[in-house]
């Protein structure tokens, strides 16, 4: 005979209270990728809720903000005194603490959509190459922007988690994150960064190289936004992967100061970015040379993972593959890798395991 069940179900009120507590914790936690070019914010409830340019426009006389994010970015080169458009984050670290606080505060409010009354808990990506002073500055900026508490996480760890790499296993994984201001290389094994290197050559360096090339070869000046558009639409890292369609651009003649149109193709753009790209390649080879042979063996088996905005450069995988003779993979969502990783840390509550602060 089947005995009656003696286990009493939990009161409905208790189950709802526990659910509410979980939702409250997630609702007041945000993952942030504060980059040189873009800032992304992740909410465990809604996913990626903000993707804005890390740019702020201020009145230089009153120091009051006029605009932030994508709107401020469109003002680059289109303002007059007293409006100044600034990038408070340079080369992956905070260049202006006060402006970073103001910009981050605006982003957090926008991500929360004005519906939260509690100060959020933040998980922030931090470069492996950042000093303790730079890490403290990042934490201070986040706290002043309205955070309740802040946890810093190594960006390569966050990116690897966002991509879905099996970093908890005792096998080496090499990840290259080409951002706007820095390129970061890291070998991750057993959830730890074994070796890392950050260089101040990345997407912004490509833009500058394109601007300098057109000025030297054609005596034509173009702006940062035009250079970025050229890089994204037509630039190629490898001569075997290119776009043959020429692009017409409008710039300013250096001599006359008058508007000038010219056509440029991907071969010329590849020549333009060859110097910064070569510097990244040399750094990668030196980095591999310093990596332990056992880890290199793992990397040869698993391949190199490329993420960040630079991963979208045409032929970058072929370029690195020809250089290292190792398999190279592009992350499925390279722009969001770091912020998705911070989200996974929030959702799985692995803060004590991965945090560096």
CATH of the domain at 214: 3.90.640.10
Helix (H, G, I), strand (E, B) or coil at 76: coil
Residue with tokens 């290259």: 176
Res 115: pLDDT: 56
End position of a domain, from candidates 237, 272, 307: 272
pTM attached to this predicted model? 0.87
Tell me: do 195 and 327 sit in the same domain: yes
Tell me: do 61 and 193 sit in the same domain: no
End position of a domain, from candidates 272, 298, 314: 272
Tell me: do 92 and 152 sit in the same domain: yes
Res 118: pLDDT: 73
Res 59: pLDDT: 92
How many Å apart are CA 252 and CA 231, to the nearest integer?
Answer: 19
Ordered per-residue pLDDT tens for the chain, 357 residues:
444 444 444 444 344 334 434 444 555 889 999 999 999 999 988 899 999 999 999 998 888 999 999 999 999 888 888 899 999 998 888 999 999 999 999 999 999 876 555 788 999 999 888 888 989 999 999 999 989 899 999 999 999 999 999 999 999 999 999 999 999 999 999 999 999 999 999 999 999 999 999 999 999 999 999 999 999 888 989 886 666 678 889 999 999 999 999 998 888 999 999 999 999 999 999 999 999 999 999 999 999 999 999 999 999 999 999 999 999 999 999 999 999 999 999 887 544 444 444
Tell me: do 249 and 326 sit in the same domain: no
Tell me: do 233 and 320 sit in the same domain: no
β-strand partners of 34: 39
Tell me: do 286 and 170 sit in the same domain: yes
Residue with tokens 């201001």: 181
| CATH code of the domain containing 83 | 3.30.420.40
Torsion sign across C-alpha atoms 232, 247, 269, 316: positive
Tell me: do 97 and 197 sit in the same domain: no
Residue 264 lies in a domain: yes
Residue 152 lies in a domain: yes
Tell me: do 175 and 308 sit in the same domain: yes
How many Å apart are CA 349 and CA 31, to the nearest integer?
Answer: 12
Helix (H, G, I), strand (E, B) or coil at 259: strand
Per DSSP, 308 falls in state S
Tell me: do 309 and 347 sit in the same domain: no
Contact 308, 333 (CB under 8 A): no
Tell me: do 69 and 170 sit in the same domain: no
Residue with tokens 């037509």: 234
End position of a domain, from candidates 256, 272, 288: 272
Domain limits for position 34? 29-158+338-351
Tell me: do 45 and 172 sit in the same domain: no
Domain total in the chain: 3
Tell me: do 37 and 124 sit in the same domain: yes
Closest by Cα among 97, 32, 76 to 204: 76
Percent composition of the chain: helix, strand, coil (DSSP 3-state, to 5): 40, 25, 30
Residue 281 lies in a domain: yes
**How many angstroms from the chain centroid is the CA of residue 123?**
14
Residue 23 lies in a domain: no
């Amino acid at each position: 005979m089947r005995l009656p069940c003696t286990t009493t179900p939990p009161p409905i009120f208790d189950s709802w209270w526990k659910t509410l507590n979980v939702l409250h914790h997630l609702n007041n936690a945000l993952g942030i990728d504060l980059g040189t070019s873009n800032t992304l914010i992740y909410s465990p409830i809604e996913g990626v809720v903000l993707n804005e340019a890390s740019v702020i426009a201020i009145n230089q006389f009153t120091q009051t903000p006029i605009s932030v994010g994508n709107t401020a970015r469109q003002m680059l080169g289109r303002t007059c005194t007293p409006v100044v458009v600034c990038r408070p984050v340079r080369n992956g670290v905070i260049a202006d603490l006060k402006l970073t606080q103001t910009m981050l505060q605006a982003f957090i409010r926008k991500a929360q959509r004005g519906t939260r009354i509690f100060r959020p808990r933040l998980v922030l990506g931090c470069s492996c190459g950042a000093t303790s002073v730079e890490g403290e500055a990042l934490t201070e900026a986040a706290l002043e922007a309205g955070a309740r508490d802040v946890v810093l996480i190594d960006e390569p760890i966050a990116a690897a988690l966002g991509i879905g790499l099996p970093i908890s296993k005792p096998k080496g994984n090499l990840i290259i994150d080409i951002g706007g201001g820095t390129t970061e290389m890291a070998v991750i094994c057993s959830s730890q960064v074994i070796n890392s290197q950050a260089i101040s050559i990345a997407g912004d360096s490509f833009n500058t190289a394109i601007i300098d090339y057109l000025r030297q070869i054609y005596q034509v000046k173009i702006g940062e936004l035009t250079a970025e558009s050229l890089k994204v639409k037509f630039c190629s890292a490898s001569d075997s992967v290119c776009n043959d369609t020429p692009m017409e651009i409008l710039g300013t003649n250096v001599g006359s100061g008058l508007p000038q149109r010219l056509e440029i193709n991907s071969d010329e753009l590849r020549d333009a970015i060859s110097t910064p790209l070569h510097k990244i390649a040399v750094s990668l080879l030196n980095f591999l040379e310093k990596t332990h042979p056992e880890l290199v063996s793992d990397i040869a088996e698993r391949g190199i993972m490329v993420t960040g905005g630079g991963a979208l450069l045409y032929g970058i995988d072929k370029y690195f593959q020809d250089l290292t003779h190792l398999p190279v993979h592009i992350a499925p969502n390279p722009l969001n890798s770091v912020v998705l990783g911070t989200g996974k840390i929030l959702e799985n509550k692995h803060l004590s395991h991965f945090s560096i602060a």
